[in-house]
Amino acid sequence: MPSAAAQRDIPSDMVYLPPALPSAWGEGAILPVDKPEGRPSFDVVSAVRGGTGVSKVGHAGTLDPIATGLLIVLVARPATRLQEACVQLPKTYEATLRLGETTPSYDTETDVTSRADPSGLSRSDLEDTCASFAGPINQVPPMYSAVKVDGERLYKKARRGETVERLPRQVRIDRIELRDWTPPELSLRVECSKGTYIRALARDLGEKLGVGGHLTALRRTAIGPFSVGESWTLAALTDALA
């Protein structure tokens, strides 16, 4: 059952789409931002904190550095108190997978450790396998993730070469659509619940197909009613704040 904080309404008058900015940051602002590739989510928060002079700035839903797309930035207490409500919103992603190669991080951040030939897979094979992931599924978080075990982030353990048992978590895939199959590259559109790791989905799809796989590109295009097409670019937001 979602907490009371997760069920709060998100006031539309607190959302600022480009080119609008609030006259008083202390009243709270929600800024949809298109995070660029190669930048951690914290960089976006840091840029907004520096540009607004507000110390209390957060975001709702981390994106890995290699990922791009929609990040909801919350400025000042009236907005940050809505963080849990924003986190609960469903997400939409466009993902590219490379079948036939596996990596420890399930993406391109680590080197390929095994290879197989995926060329014999048909589009029908892929569609059937993708369909099998629709609905509630149990997903094991990646070792290279921010999940805490024994008080420490998993990615810190992974970087030391450690592997620990991770309990599966139930997430929900509302829709998974095969966009393109040009071996070995597979493109998907995924609508899912909070807490879903698309990297882990890439791993699981590859395993179920018998060839392995990892994520090579990821873009978050929507979070609930928020769309990346109506978001700030980081460059435009930085300029506007200056």
pTM, two decimals, is: 0.93
Among candidate residues 34, 64, 107, 204, the one labeled active-site is 64
Indicate if the pLDDT at residue 33 is higher than 90: yes
Active site residue 64: yes
**Among 109, 101, 108, 110, residue whose Cα is nearest residue 184:** 101
pLDDT tens digit sequence for 96-150: 999 999 999 999 999 999 999 999 999 999 999 999 999 999 999 887 777 787 7
236, containing H or E segment: helix 234-241
Q: Which two tokens stand for residue 229?
A: 């097409």
Which domains are seen in the chain, by residue range?
5-89+225-241 (3.30.70), 91-223 (3.30.2350.10)
* Encoded amino acid at 228, one letter: V
Burial (Cβ within 10 Å: 0-12, 13-18, ≥19) of residue 95: buried
pLDDT tens digit sequence for 149-179: 778 887 788 788 878 788 899 999 999 999 9
Q: Which two tokens stand for residue 231?
A: 């978001």
Average pLDDT across the chain, whole number: 94
At 6 the pLDDT is 82
Indicate if the pLDDT at residue 50 is higher than 70: yes
The CA distance from 91 to 225, in Å, is 10
